[in-house]
C-alpha cells in the first residue's frame, strides 16, 4: 500500500518508535492519528506535522481505543493503517517477576493490540483494504535470561499477528510483524538503567527512525515480517 494520502493510526506515538513512525508516515504523505497517554507530547508532535491529530488514548481501555478509531474516521474520512506500537518492557529473572506487573504488561503488549485490531476491522473491511503492523521484539526470537516475561508477551503477539494475517487474507487487510532489535528510545534507556546491557562488543542500538522505515516498508510491501535482529543474535 502506498502511504501517500492514507490515514495511519499509530499507538504509542508520544515517543520513540511510534513518534518516528508518525514522522516517517507524514513525510511519505500520510495523515496521522497519534494515540498515547501523554497528550502534551502528542499535541506537540501533531503541531509539527501536516494532517495530524492527537488523541489521548490509554490502549488498555477498549472504549478509548474505539474513540481513537472514531476520531480518525471523523477527521479524515477513513482509516488505512494501524500501527500497534504501544508497549512496555518487563525485565527481571522469572523468579523475581511481579505477577501483577506481568498481567499489566500482557494487557498492554498482547490484549491491547488485539482490541485495536478488532476496532479497526469494520472500517478497513468496509473500505476493502487496510494494513496492520504489529511491533513485536527481536527478544521474542531469543532465549534471553532476564527477558522471559517480556519475550513471552511479544511471542503471544507474534502468534496473534500471524494468525490475523491468515484470517484476514480474504478481506484485503494485510497484517505484518516487525521485530526491532535494541533501539535507542526511552524503553532502551530504562533497560540500560536496569543493567540489562546489550552484549559486549555487540552492534550499536538501532535508531527509532530505522525501525520506522522498516514499518513503512512493511506497509508498502505487505510482506509478513521484517526481522531487524543482527546475525548471531537469534535463539
Ligand atoms: P518508548 O518507551 O519510547 O515508547 C513506548 C510508547 O508506548 C510510548 O509512546 C507510550 O506512551 C506508549 N504506551 C505505553 N503504555 C501505553 C498505554 N497504556 N496506552 C497508550 N500508549 C501507551 O519505547 P519504544 O519506542 O522503544 O517502544 C515502542 C515499541 O517497540 C514497544 O512495543 C516495545 O516493546 C517495542 N520494542 C522496543 C525495543 C527497544 O529496544 N526500544 C526493541 C524491540 C521492541 P505514553 O506513555 O504517552 O502512553
Answer yes or no: is the ipTM higher than 0.90: yes
185 falls within a domain: yes
Confidence of residue 234 (pLDDT cuts 50, 70, 90): low
Confidence of residue 34 (pLDDT cuts 50, 70, 90): very high
148 falls within a domain: yes
Domain that holds residue 180: 7-226
Q: Cell numbers 513518534 label which residue?
A: 19
Q: Is the pTM of this model over 0.95?
A: yes
Determine how many CB atoms are found less than 10 A away from the CB of residue 54: 24
Q: Does residue 195 surpass a pLDDT of 60? A: no
- CA distances (Å), origin 179, targets 75, 176, 210: 31, 10, 12
Share of the chain above pLDDT 70, in %: 94
234 falls within a domain: no
Name the domain count of the chain: 1
The C-alpha cell at 78 is: 477513513
Res 189: pLDDT: 73
Query: The domain that contains 110 carries what CATH number?
Result: 3.40.50.720
Res 229: pLDDT: 92
Q: Which of 76, 150, 181, 233 is catalytic?
A: 150
235 falls within a domain: no
State the average pLDDT for the chain: 95
27 falls within a domain: yes
Q: Does ligand 1 come within 6 angstroms of the Cβ of 179?
A: no
Q: What is the per-residue pLDDT across 92-144, written as a single tens digit (0 to 9) for each?
A: 999 999 999 999 999 999 999 999 999 999 999 999 999 999 999 999 999 99
Q: What is the per-residue pLDDT across 49-93, written as a single tens digit (0 to 9) for each?
A: 999 999 999 999 999 999 999 999 999 999 999 999 999 999 999
DSSP, collapsed to helix, strand or coil, labels residue 169 as helix
Q: Does ligand 1 come within 6 angstroms of the Cβ of 180?
A: yes
Q: Does ligand 1 come within 6 angstroms of the Cβ of 198?
A: no
Q: Is 150 a catalytic residue?
A: yes
231 falls within a domain: no
41 Cα nearest atom in ligand 1: 47
Amino acid at each position: 500500500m502506498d502511504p501517500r494520502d492514507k490515514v495511519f493510526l499509530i499507538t504509542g506515538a508520544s515517543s520513540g518508535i511510534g513518534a518516528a513512525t508518525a514522522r516517517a508516515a507524514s513525510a511519505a504523505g500520510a495523515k496521522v492519528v497519534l494515540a498515547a497517554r501523554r497528550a502534551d507530547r502528542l499535541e506537540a508532535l501533531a503541531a509539527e506535522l501536516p494532517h495530524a491529530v492527537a488523541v489521548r488514548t490509554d490502549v488498555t481501555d477498549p472504549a478509548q481505543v474505539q474513540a481513537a478509531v472514531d476520531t480518525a474516521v471523523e477527521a479524515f474520512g477513513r482509516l488505512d493503517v494501524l500501527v500497534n506500537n504501544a508497549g512496555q518492557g518487563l525485565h527481571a529473572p522469572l523468579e523475581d517477576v511481579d505477577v501483577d506487573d506481568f498481567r499489566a504488561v500482557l494487557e498492554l503488549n498482547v490484549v491491547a493490540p488485539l482490541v485495536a485490531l478488532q476496532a479497526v476491522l469494520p472500517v478497513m473491511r468496509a473500505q476493502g483494504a487496510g494494513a496492520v503492523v504489529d511491533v513485536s521484539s527481536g527478544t521474542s526470537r531469543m532465549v534471553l535470561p532476564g527477558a522471559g516475561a517480556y519475550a513471552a508477551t511479544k511471542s503471544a503477539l507474534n502468534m496473534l499477528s500471524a494468525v490475523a494475517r491468515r484470517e484476514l487474507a480474504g478481506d484485503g487487510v494485510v497484517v505484518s510483524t516487525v521485530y526491532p532489535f535494541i533501539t535507542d528510545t526511552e524503553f532502551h534507556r530504562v533497560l540500560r538503567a536496569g543493567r540489562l546491557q546489550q552484549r559486549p562488543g555487540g552492534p550499536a542500538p538501532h535508531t527509532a527512525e530505522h525501525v520506522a522505515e522498516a514499518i513503512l516498508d512493511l506497509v508498502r510491501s505487505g510482506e509478513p515480517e521484517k526481522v531487524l535482529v543482527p546475525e548471531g543474535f537469534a535463539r
